[in-house]
Structure 1
Amino acid sequence: MPEGHTLHRLARLHQRRYAGTPVGVSSPQGRFAAEASILDGQVLVRAEAYGKHLFHDFGAGGTVHVHLGLYGTFTEATLPAADPVGQVRLRLVGRTHWTDLRGPNRCELLDEQQADAIKAKLGPDPLRRDADPDRAWRRISRSRTSIAVLLMDQSVLAGVGNVYRAEVLFRHGVPPSLPGRSLDVALWREMWADLVTLMRGGVRTGRIDTVAPEHLPEVTGRAPREDRHGGEVYVYRRAGLPCLVCGTAVANSELAGRNLYWCPGCQPA
């Protein structure tokens, strides 16, 4: 599932290409046809992301809410628009570009109150300037649940997925099993600031990089990471490989239905 930086990249791209002008809206697949007919030719007011959710605000016409889930993808290209290929749920056509949406978990037209209700259920998003990290801390500091689970709970913290979860815990030497209420508030603030920096980097580059300069392949002589997610990381999907810092084999287990990665040497229980 795409992490928050991917949705913010899409929001910025669509804001730049489509906002402020009339947009052609259609549903070649047909599943969004009735809603598309309401929006077709309307001006896109704003595209924005909140956590792993994307919102296209058409003003009085309503807001298109997209959650990509595991299989949703956007494809982008310059005009002229090509014939639809596959199950295209939503097509947007602007003055210079067009984009197709396939396979989302959710693609729905909402009114303002409905869109606000979705946002209200989400925790603070490190990529939003209006985010309040203390709101997440109030949930974390009262919870017996492990910090690894809390970081993935979108009602606690929005936009953080499995990669950022594993990497921020490693970077701060926090064992994944630590109960939220046992985390020091100063450490939480450092982790939040780190997430802001790392995720903003992801928005800029389109990949997740968490490794310090001194641990990069060109410095250490190791082979670059090869993974469809891209980027250089410390523990994510490195189970059994030596830690880039201490050499201990990276551990892996399942937690709340998701793969968890950590270094027993750098993150002792």
Structure 2
Amino acid sequence: MDISTILGIILGFAVIIYGIGMESLGNFIDTSSIFITIGGTLCALMASFPLKQLVKIGVHMKIVLFGNKFKPEEAINKLVDLAQLARKNGLLALEEQAGDIKDPFFKRGVLLVVDAMEAEKVRSLLEEEIAAMDQRHDSDVAFYEKGSIYAPAFGMIGTLVGLINMLKEMNLDEGSSSSLGLSMATALVTTFYGCILANLIFQPIAKKLRIRNDDEILYRQIIVEGVVGIQCGDNPKSLKEKLVSTLSQKQQNRMLNDANAKKGGRNREKSAEE
């Protein structure tokens, strides 16, 4: 579970509340302002996007919190194993292994290789699927990016509503100008709500979804290069080096340490047998 988003939002609210001060917190609570800002933003999003986007909010929250499921190191190790099997027993031997692969994209790529489809054709089909996925994810991210634009706008609308009502009700002859500061503060609360909603809710969610998308694209690109390499008959060792080079330095070091640990374990077992 990736708790950074929840932790960041909670700490953000804590910092704001600390800055306001508990004794002054009541000055920033206004039911009408909350209704205008949140309700108006949701209505604008509903008018801008298909209803299915609103329904997918729960799915998006699950992706934000539990979406770090793409493990390129595991994919590389699996691809290298498949490459070794293909060199030893031929491409048809991969069909049985494909049944054990849970990722539909990975499985489809392996089956395309088993069907002896040309390498460039395999690459083209898989990259088109990646592009379509990226486009779908862009639409999901745009939902929250638009929300970060609408929220401050509706906050300003709420402020204008408050100012108009305040000016309408002003009656200097009866001394009501003493409430001017209080009325002005109430009018400005909606802008405050809009800024919080945009910068502490919508923008962080949009950014985290973008990161999840980048992780999935990298994962799928590794699979594309791997299955194409298998189709072309690349040496498993060379294929692994090629795929590992696409990872960050930290991930490369982790894979190297794991490989050394496994090699050391095999050497100890061999020494014990002797």
TM-score (norm 2): 0.21
**Structure with the larger strand share:** 1
Q: State the structure with more CA Rg.
A: 2
TM-score (norm 1): 0.22
**Structure with the larger helix share:** 2
